[in-house]
Amino acid sequence: MAVDQDKLNSFMGKAVGDIGAAMSANMVLLGDKLGLYKAMAKLGAITPAELAKATKTTERYVREWLGNQAAGGYVTYDPGTGRYTLPEEQAMALADEGSPCFLPGAFQVIAATFSANPKIEQRFKTGKGLGWDQHDHRLFEGTERFFRPNYLGNLVSNWIPALDGVAAKLNRGSLVADVGCGFGASTILMAKAFPNSTFRGFDYHKPSIKAARKRAKDAGVKNVTFEAAKSTNYPGKGYALVAHFDCLHDMGDPVGAAKHVKKTLAPDGTWMIVEPFAGDRVEDNLNPVGRVFYAASTMICVPASLAYKGPALGAQAGEARLRDVVMKGGFTRFRRATQTPFNLVLEARA
**Pairing between strand 224-228 and 265-276?**
unpaired
Strand order in the sheet with 265-276: 224-228, 198-203, 175-179, 239-245, 265-276, 343-349, 333-339
Cα torsion 73, 79, 83, 88 to 10°: value is: -40
pLDDT tens-digit readout, 261-278: 999 999 999 999 999 999
Is residue 145 over pLDDT 90? yes
Is residue 1 over pLDDT 80? no
pLDDT tens-digit readout, 36-76: 999 999 999 999 999 999 999 999 999 999 999 999 999 99
Is residue 168 over pLDDT 80? yes
Q: Residue 171: give its domain's CATH number.
A: 3.40.50.150
Asked if 280 and 203 sit in the same domain, the reply is: yes
Asked if 142 and 89 sit in the same domain, the reply is: no
Range of the domain at 309: 108-126+138-147+165-349
Domain assignment of residue 229, yes or no: yes
Asked if 23 and 142 sit in the same domain, the reply is: no
What's the whole-number average pLDDT of the chain?
Answer: 97
Domain assignment of residue 225, yes or no: yes
Asked if 182 and 314 sit in the same domain, the reply is: yes
Asked if 113 and 49 sit in the same domain, the reply is: no
Is residue 164 over pLDDT 90? yes
Asked if 81 and 120 sit in the same domain, the reply is: no
Cα torsion 224, 182, 160, 234 to 10°: value is: -70
Domain assignment of residue 152, yes or no: no
E strand map for 180-237: 198-203, 224-228
With helix as H, strand as E and coil as C, how does 302-319 read? HHHHHCCCCCCCCCCCCH
Asked if 89 and 142 sit in the same domain, the reply is: no
Rounded Cα distance, 219 and 222, in Å: 9
Asked if 257 and 302 sit in the same domain, the reply is: yes
Asked if 86 and 214 sit in the same domain, the reply is: no
Of the chain, the percentage scoring pLDDT greater than 70 comes to 100
Q: Residue 52: give its domain's CATH number.
A: 1.10.10.10
- State the total domains in the chain: 2
The string of DSSP codes covering 230-297 is: -TTT-----EEEEEEES-GGG-S-HHHHHHHHHHHEEEEEEEEEEEE---SSGGGG-SHHHHHHHHHI
Contact call for residues 229 and 212 (beta carbons, < 8 A): no
Domain assignment of residue 194, yes or no: yes
- For residues 245-273, give the mean pLDDT: 98
Helix and strand totals (H; E) in the chain: 14, 9
Domain assignment of residue 49, yes or no: yes
Asked if 227 and 281 sit in the same domain, the reply is: yes
Domain assignment of residue 159, yes or no: no
pTM (2 decimals)? 0.94
Asked if 75 and 113 sit in the same domain, the reply is: no
pLDDT in the model for residue 2: 87
HSE on the CB side for 188, CA within 13 Å?
Answer: 21
pLDDT tens-digit readout, 312-327: 999 999 999 999 999 9
Asked if 60 and 198 sit in the same domain, the reply is: no
